[in-house]
Amino acid sequence: MEKVLNGIKPENVFGYFEEISAIPRQPGKCEKISDYIVDFAIKHSLEYSRDDNNNVLIRKPSNRSGKQNVVILQGHMDMVCEKSYDYDSKHDFSKDPLKLSVLDDIIRAKGTTLGADDGIAVAYMLAVLSDDTLDIPNIEALFTTDEEDGMKGAIAYDASALKGRYLINLDHEVEGEILTCSAGGKRVKCSLPVEYINVTGIAYDIIICGLCGGHSGMEIDKGRGNALLLLGRILHTITKNMPFSLKYLGGGLTDTAIPREAKAEIIIDRQYNELLESIIEKYSGIICDEFEGIEENMMIYAENKGEETAPCLDPESKRRIGFLLNTVPDGIIKMSRKNDGLVRTSLNCGIMKLTDSTFSLIINMRSLAESEKEALADKIEYLIETIGGRYIEEYDYPAWEFVSDSQLRKTAFDIYQRMFGKNPKLRGFHAGLECGVFFRKMEGVDIISIGPDIANIHTPKEHLSISSTQRVYDYLIEILKNI
């Protein structure tokens, strides 16, 4: 297969990035990428260990004489797997390589997420481990699994195996920033029992698509639309104007991404055809106007599928689902009082699914304050149980708290000043990072997080800056040289 990134420097970084882009690495299915990293360690005669969750730790001794510090480099192997259905609906993330493309300074994957979150961290670490010329301390490179599925790899990892007390996480997406803290998070499943009755009438598909989506932590402050809740709003509007039966409802691919698409299948009496189409046309315009300047490609439309007899939700099941979708909180819950522009607490409804017996809504909550995260979870639990549903916590991970006295942060700050002639930005982060897990597990660990410019992560528009990747790698090496 032709190498698209050949000749782009540093060649070891981009060479490894291209290699891992050909390896399936869905959350929960990291065996092949874990095998690749183990094979790398064996090839380079490096000490390694792999646990039952496919986390891999590789140790590289320093070339320096005398006793040296141990620095942990950390990133995750898995990636969010989203694709653009109008481009390549047949792409199979379980076996197909990503189709990389380069235009000027930008690397993309054709029709899918790029996986630079966090594939570039894997590439950085492999590049460091493979370069025997570097004057750096002892390195522990920890490659974790299933970060995009509740940080399961990091949570399960036995951190007592780590000797280092400096940890550089490489899962940030903005050059020139040093992260100092991050939000904790919780994923919950709200499940409602449903019943069906047979209905005959004219079937319609109601579709919302073309939304920006994005990372449910990093982009939650951008005011982007949530396709699931917008569809719930439209269905409620139809309810107020005419009767209909609900056959199908679904949307969203992961709780960590703001959903871009959602679909409902309904059945109506023929006499309401024109009314339904006029409602959709009217409210499509209203909602698009509300998101003017934000969701420029949003489409809301109805397709007449002809006469049909099919099982549809009984009126009570439909009513309870409508109530949930129109009352559940969404987006920013609270902004930070201390840091301008930093979201403190948020909620994202990421996936909804209707089956023969249940309707489920998967929700991701984030907060810099553990107490606020728990209070929000209590609110959701109370809401779903009030309408006869069930609340299930699927995962919970801690916040990475700010530490005022960080030698690693000071070193990284001073080096950035010296290399680039300006101050880096120190900031908190509303998205969850594995830093919080290791902060909780490792007493006294000193942590920072850095990374190159990656835009539109968790969407098919994700792209990585080549020049930024080069600069941040040089910056990383310089930090290591000065520890």
pLDDT single digits (tens) 132-156: 999 999 999 999 999 998 899 999 9
Specify whether the CB–CB gap between 210 and 260 falls below 8 A: yes
Specify whether the CB–CB gap between 183 and 176 falls below 8 A: no
The one catalytic residue among 78, 149, 171, 462: 78
Lowest mean pLDDT among 72-76, 252-256, 321-325: 252-256
Instruction: Please determine, looking at this structure, whether the domain spanning 11-172+433-481 carries the CATH number 3.40.1030.10.
Output: no
Q: How many helices (H) and strands (E) does the chain have?
A: 12, 20
pLDDT of residue 150: 85
Specify whether the CB–CB gap between 329 and 376 falls below 8 A: yes
Structure tokens at 349: 């409804």
279 pLDDT above the threshold of 80: yes
For residues 223-228, average pLDDT? 97
Specify whether the CB–CB gap between 267 and 363 falls below 8 A: no
Helix (H) or strand (E) holding 35: helix 31-43
pLDDT of residue 1: 60
Edge-to-edge strand order for the sheet containing 454-455? Answer: 100-103, 106-109, 463-465, 454-455
Residues 6+ apart with CB under 8 A from 444: 165
Helix (H) or strand (E) holding 206: strand 196-209
From residue 29, give the alpha-carbon distance in Å to each of 20, 79, 304, 395, 472: 14, 10, 39, 18, 29
HEC assignment per residue over 370-433: HHHHHHHHHHHHHHHHHCCCEEEEEEEECCECCCCCCHHHHHHHHHHHHHHCCCCEEEEEEEEC
Active site residue 453: no
Classify 187-397 by CATH class: alpha beta
pLDDT of residue 458: 87
Residues 6+ apart with CB under 8 A from 221: 332, 341, 343, 430
* 425: nearest Cα among 73, 139, 53, 175: 175
d(CA 264, CA 203): 10
Active site residue 78: yes
Q: Where in the chain is the domain with CATH 3.40.630.10?
A: 11-172+433-481
The one catalytic residue among 147, 148, 175, 330: 147
Find tokens 């490096």 and name the residue.
Answer: 46
pLDDT of residue 352: 98
Percent share of the chain, pLDDT over 90: 90
252 pLDDT above the threshold of 70: yes
Type of residue at 388: G
Output the pTM of the full model: 0.80
Q: How confident is the model at residue 204 (pLDDT cuts 50, 70, 90)?
A: very high
Q: Where in the chain is the domain with CATH 3.30.70.360?
A: 187-397
